Amino acid sequence: MLSVCVNNRSIVLKFYPFCPFPVKKNLKRVFNGKKMIPASHQSKRLSLSALGLILAAIILALILGVVTWRNLDREERLMESFLREEGLTLIRAFEAGARTSMMMNWEGNSLATLVRETARTESVAYVAIADASGQLLTAAGERRSSDDILPVAQVLAQEQPRTRQTKDGAGRSVYEVATEFNPVLPEGAGREGMMGRGQRWCGMGCAPGEPVGRRAIFVGLYTGEFEAARDEDVRQSLLMGALLLLLGSTGFYFLFLSQQTRVAKTTLANMELYTRNVIDSMPAGLITLDNEGRIVSLNDKARGIFGQQGEAAEGSPLEALTGAERCEIAPLIREGHEFVERPMECRRPSGESIPVKVSASRLTGRDGEPLGTVLVVRDLREIKAMEEALERSRRHAALGRMAAGIAHEIRNPLGTLRGFAQYFAKLGEKDPHAEEYAELMVGEVDRLNRTISALLQFARPREPEPANINLGDLLRRTARLLQDDLAARNLSFQLVPPAETVNFTADSDLLTQVLINLLQNAQAATEAGGEIRLGAREQDAEIRFWVEDTGKGMTSEERSRMFDPFFTTRKTGTGLGLAMVQQIVEQHGGRIEVESAPEKGARVEVILPREPTQRKEIGSPA
């Protein structure tokens, strides 16, 4: 993979998946950059619990308001009923006093005296008696004008007492009760009947013997005590409303805090998950250490590089992951070194050597206090493999140019040698061994010519001619070409075609040559009675076909050199078959994977892209 790293002075192109600058700055850029942090998409609407609390508070407030209004209305009705009854009681007391004075035949204006004495009571605002024309006959208290009382005509026109609420001169509320004033007993009752039922009561404002008209009495009662009680109820209701509002506000506030805490926890959990995914998705190993060199965290890539499984490494010293003697990272960290892209070799517990580049940087807190160390470990195995592939391609190109020149220089003498060999064969009658020698010479010249032909084909490969190919047909055609040879060597052959019809684009002749070369190598490596398998399948937009055998297998050294030109383990081999296989596969933009061990057979798998547009040249940027 190629990456472009930009610093303040230049643009550097290297095979780096990360910029080789201080790790601490890169980490801060990744985790503190606002664009890297996923936005928390929280709903702007209130949660159901908050809405429920608000609705409950509103319902309770409405209930409190309704109850308060009903209580005030009930108190108003009770006050009016009480004051009405009290007023009527006073009126009946006046009528009783008037009757008493009439029966006792008291002298003077006893009714006026009774009015004045009654008006002195604190709860009584005024008492007034008026005739039918509205003229006040007697009055005591705050009201002394006929304009301040109900119209007498209206009072006398109704049988039921009339009431109203008004104000006195000082602005105090007064409840007025007015009704007809009639102290005369029914005819035949009491002392009046005994003294003569025809006598009529005059009282005041008329001469004896003068007919008495209808009169109205007005009693005004103060409502201050009732209003004070009502105001106290209103204050209590307001206090309860305030308490309810306070409780509701407090509950809503704590609910809001709870919701905010839940949102914060969710956001932190999302950030932790996002950060963990980013770290685990890094193409390099990331390890954080505390000040004592213990592992705080590491991603899956770091575990894979050092062959660590699970979370056993977290909390343990760095040596538990890298090994005390398998890698030099831990000693450098103990010495307090900071470094960038330092190459080194580390070994897994299995003994496998891993080339890596390590960057180390100190972590500091807000106030500059040291918090630990962060390590970035890059696995260089893929880069090494790419470098080896490029080097192998350069070697192949140089060998091709050299082979083309050598083949041209050798082929001309070969023709001459073959002609002389045929001439010597005709002299067999003179020399009995001449014909035998001539046939040997011709056979060796032909073998050398085949080698040179293969060398020329390797040196000047033809360009692939892509066409639509059926994968199953390709396998079956190749199997038919070699089936007889395999049977002659007493080798079991098994064909494993794809389960479904698979078509792809490639050069059929070149791929047939690849399969033949692979099968011939498997045949040469497998003894009689062994087994060879040829199969293919489609996987992830790739075409995979393989050749397996139960032969002698390969050592690690043979496996590393098997595609080198002229490398062979057979006495009659040219060492160009597998080199041509790799060349054809690379022309199709594919790759080869090999699994083998001594005495355990071998498996060679060729992997090609399904379409030519997916193919890349060797060394092109990933």
Say which range, 62-76, 412-426, 597-611, has the weakest mean pLDDT: 412-426
Examine the fold and report which residue of 379, 412, 439 is the final residue of a domain before the chain moves on.
Answer: 379
- Domain-located, residue 193: no
* Residue pLDDT, tens place only, 254-288: 877 888 888 889 888 888 888 888 877 788 888 88
Structural tokens at position 496:
């494993």
Q: What is the pLDDT of residue 460?
A: 67
| Strands 531-539 and 542-549, sheet pairing | antiparallel
- Are the C-beta atoms of 131 and 213 separated by less than 8 Å? yes
| pLDDT over threshold 50, residue 41 | no
Are residues 372 and 455 located together in one domain of the fold? no
- Domain-located, residue 21: no
| CB neighbour class for 389 (10 Å; exposed up to 12, middle 13-18, buried from 19) | middle
* Residue pLDDT, tens place only, 181-207: 887 655 544 444 434 433 444 555 454
- How many contiguous H segments (helices) and E segments (strands) does the chain have? 15, 19
Containing domain of residue 170, as a range? Answer: 47-187+212-252
Are residues 398 and 366 located together in one domain of the fold? no
- Domain-located, residue 620: no
Are residues 375 and 389 located together in one domain of the fold? no
Are residues 323 and 432 located together in one domain of the fold? no
- Domain-located, residue 201: no
- Domain-located, residue 64: yes
Are residues 504 and 364 located together in one domain of the fold? no
Domain CATH code at residue 551: 3.30.565.10
Q: What is the pLDDT of residue 1?
A: 35
Q: What is the pLDDT of residue 496?
A: 92
* Residue pLDDT, tens place only, 471-515: 999 999 999 988 888 888 899 999 999 988 999 999 998 999 899
Give Dmax over CA atoms of the chain in angstroms: 203
- Domain-located, residue 39: no
- Cα–Cα dist 508/213, whole Å: 140
Mean pLDDT, rounded, for 37-45: 46
Of the two residues 107 and 280, the one the predictor is more confident about is 280
Of the two residues 565 and 129, the one the predictor is more confident about is 129
- Are the C-beta atoms of 451 and 407 separated by less than 8 Å? no
For 128, half-sphere exposure in the C-beta direction (CA atoms, 13 angstrom radius) is 25
- Are the C-beta atoms of 552 and 569 separated by less than 8 Å? no
Mean pLDDT, rounded, for 112-120: 79
pLDDT-based confidence at 237, cuts 50/70/90?
Answer: confident
Domain CATH code at residue 295: 3.30.450.20
Average pLDDT of the chain, as a whole number = 76
Examine the fold and report which residue of 379, 407, 423 is the final residue of a domain before the chain moves on.
Answer: 379
Are residues 408 and 371 located together in one domain of the fold? no
Q: Which residues contact 221 (CB under 8 A, 6 or more apart)?
A: 83, 86, 87, 123, 124, 125, 174, 175, 176, 177
Are residues 509 and 546 located together in one domain of the fold? yes
Mean pLDDT, rounded, for 528-546: 91
| CB neighbour class for 522 (10 Å; exposed up to 12, middle 13-18, buried from 19) | buried
Q: What is the pLDDT of residue 537?
A: 92
Examine the fold and report which residue of 320, 347, 379 is the final residue of a domain before the chain moves on.
Answer: 379
Of the two residues 237 and 40, the one the predictor is more confident about is 237
Are residues 452 and 472 located together in one domain of the fold? no
Are residues 68 and 183 located together in one domain of the fold? yes
| pLDDT over threshold 80, residue 533 | yes
Residue 307 gets the label, from left (phi > 0), alpha (psi -120 to 50) or beta, of: left
Distance of CA 53 to the CA centre of its chain: 28
- Which of the given ranges, 18-27, 393-402, 564-573, has the highest pLDDT on average? 564-573
Are residues 326 and 347 located together in one domain of the fold? yes
Say which range, 7-21, 183-197, 406-420, 549-563, has the weakest mean pLDDT: 7-21
- Domain-located, residue 32: no
Crossing angle for the helix pair 434-459 and 577-587, to the nearest 10 degrees: 20
The percentage of the chain sitting over the pLDDT mark of 90, rounded to a whole number, equals 11
Are residues 551 and 509 located together in one domain of the fold? yes
Of the two residues 519 and 4, the one the predictor is more confident about is 519
Of the two residues 26 and 316, the one the predictor is more confident about is 316
Q: What is the pLDDT of residue 578?
A: 87
Are residues 453 and 486 located together in one domain of the fold? no
Domain total of the chain: 4
Mean pLDDT, rounded, for 52-62: 77
- Are the C-beta atoms of 181 and 201 separated by less than 8 Å? no
DSSP class of residue 55 equals H
- Domain-located, residue 81: yes
